């Protein structure tokens, strides 16, 4: 099975940090659970990155345990997944589009 490399853009890293901080203020330890779930979801992308197309070459993996989605592009020539954003699903589409399109 082909394995894809993962590249996380700086803005997406900040999205993760913001999510961890938010959930940690809601309940001690919840930020850590969020981080672990994000890491597990990203690991899924290393083996199976062909999720629903959001717009042109941007794909979207909605998370199950937390109301976030991972937005990413797949470069099949270099076998690389480029994660561009990890955003809350309740954001207005315009705000999402500004970040991922």
pLDDT at 2: 82
Environment class of 87 (CB within 10 Å of its CB; exposed 0-12, middle 13-18, buried 19+): buried
Q: Read off the pLDDT of residues 72-85 as tens digits, 9 standing for 90 and up.
A: 999 999 999 999 99
Task: Give the tokens for residue 85.
Answer: 């954003």
- Residue range 5-100 forms a domain whose CATH class is alpha beta
Give the global pTM: 0.94
Domains of the chain: which residue ranges? 5-100
Q: Read off the pLDDT of residues 18-64 as tens digits, 9 standing for 90 and up.
A: 999 999 999 999 999 999 999 999 999 999 999 999 999 999 999 98
Long-range contacts of 13-16 (CB under 8 A, 24+ apart): 15/85, 15/86, 15/87, 16/86
């Amino acid at each position: 099975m082909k394995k894809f490399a993962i590249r996380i853009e700086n803005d997406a890293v900040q999205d993760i940090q913001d999510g961890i901080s938010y959930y940690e203020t809601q309940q001690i330890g919840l930020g850590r659970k969020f981080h672990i779930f994000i890491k597990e979801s990203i690991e899924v992308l290393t083996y199976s990155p062909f999720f629903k197309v959001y717009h042109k070459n941007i794909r979207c993996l909605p998370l199950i345990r937390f109301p976030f989605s991972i937005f990413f592009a797949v470069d099949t020539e270099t076998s690389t997944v480029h994660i561009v954003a990890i955003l809350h699903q309740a954001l207005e589409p315009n705000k999402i589009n500004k970040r991922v399109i």
